[in-house]
């Protein structure tokens, strides 16, 4: 096992120990916290509601959404992605608000005809996105379930894969950078996009229908009292994800995060986009 993977394993074990009380809770049925967003006939409940299959074909995609909105939290989903030639198929897990100028925190998995699978992340604040990053996943996400997390508090947003930080967006409102402050719902969807393919190819529908599987429907989030704006009750230390030890990455997490960027990062808007850089890139 190379040093990077060993560090990642240690980070994962420490994360699991730190969230022991959360992890020990039994899974709940999907219908307790979620409902179908679209594509009802392309959505299937499995294992007594402990697993959901989303599918997409030439007729329709599918998706589901949380019943409640949240103002902070540690949001998780276990996902197994479509195998085979899934060119231009996008499988997602994300948070978003529904306002004229919305906030959004994205995991978007971009299908391909050959490995590796690309993970595309983005963040919208006050309607402004275009903050894309992409990494190559270091495993085959079509063979088994993997854990994907979003930590969102008033200090930072952290995207994690199997407990390993792969992206951080710090609160830099002091230098004029907008930070997500709107109450958001959790969503998971499947759709197609030409931009998701390196060559702009359409989906290979002969390989379809394409199916993704989701598990882990507990939600560790602060339910928003206002469906539009995250308010003070969701910022307090009574929620473990708001406590000081979650304000920044610890040294081992930081080492693993830097290792991911060194080995697997293929695009970062702060590095690869031509022209002037957004202000947060100056302190990236």
Q: Write out the chain's pLDDT in tens, 284 residues.
A: 465 555 555 554 444 444 544 444 568 999 999 999 999 999 999 999 999 999 999 999 999 999 999 999 999 999 999 999 999 999 999 999 999 999 999 999 999 888 889 999 999 999 988 999 999 999 999 999 999 999 999 999 999 999 999 999 999 999 999 999 999 999 999 999 989 987 888 999 999 999 999 999 999 999 998 776 766 789 999 999 999 999 999 999 999 999 999 999 999 999 998 888 899 998 64
Among candidate residues 104, 170, 173, 187, the one labeled active-site is 104
The sign one gets for the Cα dihedral 89, 94, 98, 104 is negative
Please, what is the angle between helix 251-264 and helix 3-18, to 10°? 140
| Alpha-carbon distances, residue 5 vs 16, 20, 118 (angstroms) | 16, 22, 19
Among 20, 51, 108, 187, the active-site one is 108
The DSSP code for 103 is -
Check: CB of residue 63 under 8 Å from CB of residue 37: yes
How far is CA 267 from its chain centroid? Answer: 17
Tokens of 259: 């290792």
Q: Is 108 a catalytic residue?
A: yes
Residue 104 falls in the annotated catalytic set: yes
CB contact at 8 A, 106 and 186: no
- Cβ proximity of 106 and 121 under 8 Å: yes
Backbone phi and psi for residue 245, each to the nearest 5 degrees, phi listed first: -70, -5
């Amino acid at each position: 096992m190379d040093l990077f993977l060993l560090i990642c394993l240690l980070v994962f074990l420490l994360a699991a120990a730190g969230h022991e009380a959360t992890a020990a809770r039994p899974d709940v049925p999907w219908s307790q916290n979620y409902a179908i967003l679209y594509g009802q006939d392309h959505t299937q409940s499995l294992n007594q509601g402990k697993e959901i299959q989303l599918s997409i074909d030439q007729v329709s995609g599918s998706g589901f959404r949380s019943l409640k909105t949240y103002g902070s939290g540690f949001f998780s989903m276990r996902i197994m992605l479509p195998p085979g030639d899934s060119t231009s198929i996008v499988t997602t897990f994300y948070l978003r608000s529904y306002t004229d100028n919305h906030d959004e925190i994205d995991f978007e998995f971009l299908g391909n005809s050959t490995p590796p699978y690309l993970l595309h992340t983005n963040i919208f604040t006050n309607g402004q996105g275009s903050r894309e990053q992409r990494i190559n996943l270091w495993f085959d996400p079509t063979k088994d379930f993997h854990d994907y997390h979003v930590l969102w508090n008033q200090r930072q947003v952290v995207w994690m894969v199997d407990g390993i930080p792969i992206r951080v967006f710090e609160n830099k409102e002091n230098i004029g950078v907008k930070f997500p402050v709107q109450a958001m719902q959790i969503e998971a969807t499947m759709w197609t996009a030409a931009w998701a393919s390196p060559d702009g190819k359409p989906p290979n529908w002969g390989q379809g229908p394409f199916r993704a599987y989701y598990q882990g429907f507990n939600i560790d989030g602060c339910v928003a009292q206002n469906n539009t704006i995250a308010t003070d009750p969701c910022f307090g230390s009574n929620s473990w994800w708001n406590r000081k030890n979650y304000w920044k990455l610890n040294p081992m997490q930081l080492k693993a995060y830097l290792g991911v960027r060194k080995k697997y990062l293929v695009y970062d808007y702060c590095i690869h986009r031509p022209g002037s850089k957004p202000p947060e890139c100056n302190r990236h």
